[in-house]
Homo-oligomer: A and B are copies of this chain.
Amino acid sequence: MNARRTSRADLRPVTDAPAAPEPVRDVVMRAATSLLATDSGASLAEIAAAAGVGRTTVHRIFPTRADLLSALAMDALDRLREALAAARLDDGPAPEALSRVVDEVLPLADELRFLDAGPDIWDLPQMRDGWWSVAATLDALVQRGQREGDIRGDVPAELIVEAFTSAMWGVWDGIRDGRVAPATAARHLVTLTLGGITPPTKR
C-alpha cells in the first residue's frame, strides 16, 4: 500500500504538485474531532455531513462508531506523546520541563478537546492505557523533581499530576468558552503551577 502510493507520487513531476487531495479518512477525522468537541453525542450522520461525505463512506472507512472513536483516540494520544517528547522531560530541572509541557500541550486544545466530551472514548481500553502511560510519564517527571529538590515533597506526586493536568483541562475549557485569554493562558498557568496563588511579595 505504501509502495503503491510512493510510486504514484514519483510519477508526477515534483514541481507542480497538484495540491495532493486529502485522504477522505483524514477529512472525516478532522470533522469528527471538531464536531465531537462541542457535541459529544454527534451522530455518524452529522459527522458525515460535516465532513461533506456520505454516511456510507464514513461507514466504509470506520465500520463501526467505535472504530472511528478509537482512531480519534489513537491520533490524540500520538499528538500528546509528540508534545511530551518535544517538551524534553529529561532535560534540566523538572519545573522547567513542566513549564515546557504546558507550552507544548496547551496549543493542542483544538485537537484534544473532544476527549472531554463522551465517556465512550474513555471506555476504550487503548485510551485508558494510553492516558495512563501519559500520566505515568508525568508522575515520573514530578518524582524526579522531588528527588532533586526542585518540587515540594510534602505533596504526593500523583496528586500534583492530577491537579496539574486537571488545571490544564480547565484552562482549555476556559479558552473554548471565552473566559480565558488564549495568548497568555500558558504563561499564567505555569506561574500558578509553580508558585500558587500567594503573591511573590508575601513570602
Contact = CB atoms under 8 A, between A and B. Distances in A.
A133 interface: no
Contacts of A197: 95, 98, 142, 145, 151-152, 155, 160, 164, 193-194
Contact of A180 (B39, B158, B179, B196): B158
A74 B18 CA distance: 57
A134 B178 CA distance: 17
Contact of A166 (B117, B142, B167, B198): B167
A191 B162 CA distance: 14
A159 B192 contact: yes
Copies of this chain assembled into the complex: 2
A85 interface: no
Give the interface centre of A164, A168, A171, A188 by most chain B CB atoms within 10 Å. A188
A10 B138 CA distance: 61
B163 A167 contact: yes
A12 interface: no
Given A150-B199, A196-B198, 5 more contacts: A152-B191, A152-B199, A152-B200, A158-B180, A159-B174
